[in-house]
Structure 1
Amino acid sequence: MLEVMELPTPEAGPGQVRVRVKAAGAQPYDTAVRAGWLPPGIGDELPRIPGNEFAGVVDQSDTIPIGTEVLGFTQLGGYAEYVVVGADQVAPKPAGLAWEIAGGLTAGVQTAEIALDTIGLKEGETLLIHGAAGSVGHAAVQIARRRGARVIGTGRPDNHDFLRELGAIPVEYGEGLRERLAPLGRIDAVVDGAGGQALDLSVELVADPARIVTLVDHGRAAQLGVMTTQGVRTAERLGRYARLVADGEFTFHVRRAYPLERAADAHREIETGHGRGKIVITVA
């Protein structure tokens, strides 16, 4: 259950920053928190505020000037007017970057780069991405292409032109996928954003299951011998991609922005499992 509540304003301690939030990304991680899942290291105290990525303006800190526009990450707390995090969990927001994009950037680009590092993608290899038009998927397409890989991306037909623009070879997902992939040659590695039958097929197509990383089917990863993302988010990485997006060198698509009071509607859309790009919550 999601409910808008009035809570005490948090205070920043030494080495922390308090950010007046402008926008926060929404993602399956948040819907899992709403359903009762606890991220590692988080206690079961209530109320529990979802949101692990945000953008806004620093209004309390002993390390970063007040008024600095930043984007950042946390475990919980992004769906709020104020969030407190360590100063090492924020990066400067480029002036030309829209708040909605800044608020939703972290999960997409950081997860994508960590995933590609996990499977050791190399120049000249062919990468298959299941769910290539999604938030992480469309970031992974571009990062892989920047690394010199050939990318095949599964998605609905209405997303195929979008995927082509990003440099991927689009393929419709669902029944008959194996046959549609066959003419495209060997697949060296997979980023799985779909799970289920798509992951099963990936294990059959790729010689080494350790070259497959699943973003969604964590419960079967060990059984199948595939990877889950191994790595930590960093402000350096976030700032690097924020600059690329602001400079027009990287695309990050925001599908829809919901006001905070409609966060439940945002979760309903996420749980459909379909859609291009990112959903964002606007806070101020």
Structure 2
Amino acid sequence: MKKVSFDEFGGPDVLRLVDAEEPHAGAGQVRIAVRAAGVNPVDWRIREGQILGAHPIELPSGVGLDASGVVDEVGEGVAGVEIGDAVFGEGSSTYAEFAVLSAWARIPEGLTFAEAAGYPSVVETALRIIREVGVRPGQTLLVSGASGGVGSAVLQIAHDRGITVIGTAGARNQDYLRGLGALATTYGEGWVERVRQLGQVDAALDLSGSGVIRELVALTGDPRKVISIADLGAPALGVRFSGVAGSVRDALAEAVDLISRGKLRIPVEKSYPLTEAAAAHIDSQAGHTRGRRVLII
């Protein structure tokens, strides 16, 4: 089969499309013929060799955690899924024609393979950081860098829970944030005062790593009320860096429920063929994403 791999840490140019042996489903796993793979910031952070204890790797390594596709192997001890089922979930080396998933769910009706591939890690992360930051119904959550995949999920999940959300993003994404139920404002000079004019902030999430930790602490009044998933320097300022995944299986179940109730929809901003994985990483690292980026296999 074909898969994307790298044998040294570095920039997007280290990614190669190579011939590889097909993986096979072990106990408690399923294998899918991949139709689409989600492109996540964690993918290029791992490729760069950033310290991410939840995802230790050995070189050479495949790329990708999220995928959607059709089940073609079912491992020992797996029940409730059959060959031919359309599923989405999380595994390893998903930038490939075949991939093994360790957590999965059936794709909800009305969702394409490309759309489904954008949900697993994104929804797990959104649910985890909302829980960790301790924001409650009736309170206000500030989301810095709110228009990407995780931000899109956070805004909708928080809104469904009765939490007021203030989101910051670029000028072109203001209407997008408002469409997801958020109070929106732009980043850049004067953004802190613009946020204050929108309301008192009870908790805050840094999703873009744009150097705003001090300002988020000032807005909340407490570093314990701030979580970052993008700034590795956050702990030096007393802010928790949340990089360890929780239960993806539970997150998928909640995603299916939200999608089925019409409370969660994450658009695919751009899709790429497998041969353009490096371009997808370049675009992902540049930021300013609205929704998700995916590879189509």
TM bin, normalised by shorter chain, reads over 0.9
Q: Secondary structure at the match of 2:16?
A: coil
> So what's the TM-score if we normalise by structure 1?
0.92
Q: Secondary structure at the match of 1:104?
A: coil
Contact 1:26-1:281 at 8 Å conserved across structures = yes
Contact 1:96-1:246 at 8 Å conserved across structures = no
Contact 1:245-1:252 at 8 Å conserved across structures = no
Paired with 1:228 and 1:31, the residues of 2 have a C-alpha distance of: 18
Q: Which 5+ residue runs of structure 2 have no aligned equivalent?
A: 1-13
Deviation for aligned residue 1:196: 4.0
Q: Which of 39, 44, 69 in structure 2 is aligned with 1:26?
A: 39
Moved >6 Å (runs of 4+): none
- Show the counterpart of 1:68: 85
Paired with 1:27 and 1:280, the residues of 2 have a C-alpha distance of: 9
**Superposition RMSD in Å:** 1.7
Paired with 2:52 and 2:220, the residues of 1 have a C-alpha distance of: 31
- Show the counterpart of 2:169: 155
What are the superposed Cα offsets for residues 111-161 of structure 1, whole Å, 9 maximum, x if unpaired? 111110001110111110001111101111111111111111001111111
Counting aligned pairs with the same residue, the percent is 37
Contact 2:217-2:225 at 8 Å conserved across structures = no
Over 3 Å counting, the alpha-carbon distance change for 1:44 and 1:231 in structure 2 is closer
What are the superposed Cα offsets for residues 34-93 of structure 1, whole Å, 9 maximum, x if unpaired? 2234653634231x111011111110114231111111112x31101111233xx11111
- How many pairs does the alignment contain? 278
Over 3 Å counting, the alpha-carbon distance change for 1:207 and 1:20 in structure 2 is same
Paired with 1:261 and 1:38, the residues of 2 have a C-alpha distance of: 27
Paired with 2:135 and 2:196, the residues of 1 have a C-alpha distance of: 21
Paired with 1:108 and 1:222, the residues of 2 have a C-alpha distance of: 22
Give runs of aligned pairs for residues 223-234 of structure 1, distance below 5 A.
Answer: 223-229=236-242, 232-234=246-248
- Show the counterpart of 2:93: 77
Amino acid at match of 2:94: G
Contact 2:157-2:263 at 8 Å conserved across structures = no
Paired with 1:149 and 1:249, the residues of 2 have a C-alpha distance of: 14
Give runs of aligned pairs for residues 1-284 of structure 1, distance below 5 A.
Answer: 1-37=14-50, 39-40=52-53, 42-46=56-60, 48-61=61-74, 62=76, 63=78, 64-74=81-91, 76-86=92-102, 89-218=103-232, 220-229=233-242, 232-283=246-297
Contact 1:97-1:246 at 8 Å conserved across structures = no
Contact 2:67-2:89 at 8 Å conserved across structures = yes
Paired with 1:18 and 1:209, the residues of 2 have a C-alpha distance of: 42
- Show the counterpart of 2:4: none
Contact 1:141-1:166 at 8 Å conserved across structures = yes
Amino acid at match of 2:153: A
Q: Secondary structure at the match of 1:269?
A: helix
> So what's the TM-score if we normalise by structure 2?
0.88
Structure with more of its chain in strand, by fraction: 2
Q: Secondary structure at the match of 1:11?
A: coil
Q: Bigger shift: 132-141 or 242-251?
A: 242-251
Paired with 1:139 and 1:257, the residues of 2 have a C-alpha distance of: 19
Paired with 2:245 and 2:24, the residues of 1 have a C-alpha distance of: 29
Q: Secondary structure at the match of 2:119?
A: helix
Paired with 2:210 and 2:263, the residues of 1 have a C-alpha distance of: 34
Deviation for aligned residue 1:103: 0.7
What are the superposed Cα offsets for residues 223-269 of structure 1, whole Å, 9 maximum, x if unpaired? 11112236503223213313432553322111011011111111111
Amino acid at match of 1:237: A
Paired with 1:271 and 1:98, the residues of 2 have a C-alpha distance of: 25
Paired with 1:141 and 1:195, the residues of 2 have a C-alpha distance of: 18
Paired with 1:185 and 1:95, the residues of 2 have a C-alpha distance of: 38
Paired with 2:50 and 2:202, the residues of 1 have a C-alpha distance of: 33
Deviation for aligned residue 1:206: 1.0
Q: Bigger shift: 196-205 or 118-127?
A: 196-205
Amino acid at match of 2:15: L
Contact 1:93-1:239 at 8 Å conserved across structures = no
Deviation for aligned residue 1:186: 1.4
